[in-house]
Amino acid sequence: MNLEEAIRTRRSIGRLKKDPVDRAVIEKILEAATWAPSHFNTQPWKFIVMTGEGRSKLGEGYARVALASLDTGIGAALEERLEKERAKAFRSPVVIAAVCSPSDDPRATLVEEIAASHAAVQNLLLSAHDNGLAGVWRSGDPMYHPLMKDTFGLDAEEQLVGLIYLGYPDMTPPDGKRTPASEKTVWIDA
């Protein structure tokens, strides 16, 4: 698959088979992620890979965030809700938490470090697609909650920038639709 084809055919796929993904494939796509651009070559990303029961770390983070946001609740109903939250981590055989770990280079700004980390996630997703995997980049309020950050033991300046659920697709990817670039481009020639 060439680059143009990978860009045009990659889709967010949330329905994934339970089949395990070989560690060498995961390492290959992580290596591709590290070739993203970053201002001053700070390379401000790191990745936490969860497979098997390791995904329970993320599940516990989801449960902690949910518990903190609930007004009240006890007993079976509460435990059922928390189990539902924990189960979110097991929607795919591999979950990769992408982290922005900003450099101490005084020339680097936080917004650029986050942008570079997002570029690394894009590389990861394109490489996963090229290697026959599918996935979805998830975020949302629970990911940004301080308890989720605490769950992963992140430093004060670090932040989660994506939860990437990966595996082999269990559905046919939908057709892609994009607004033509010509409708999103302004040319300044003179």
Q: Is 178 annotated as a binding residue?
A: no
**DSSP readout, the chain?**
--HHHHHHH--B---B------HHHHHHHHHHHTTS--GGG---EEEEEEEGGGGHHHHHHHHHHHHHH-S---HHHHHHHHHHHHHGGGSSSEEEEEEE-----TT--HHHHHHHHHHHHHHHHHHHHHTT-EEEEE-SHHHHSHHHHHHTT--TT-EEEEEEEEE-BSSPPPPP----GGGG------
Q: Is 39 annotated as a binding residue?
A: yes
Q: Is 38 annotated as a binding residue?
A: no
Q: Is 45 annotated as a binding residue?
A: no
Q: Is 137 annotated as a binding residue?
A: yes
Give the annotated binding-site residues. Answer: 10-12, 39, 137-139
Give the annotated binding-site residues for FMN. Answer: 10-12, 39, 137-139
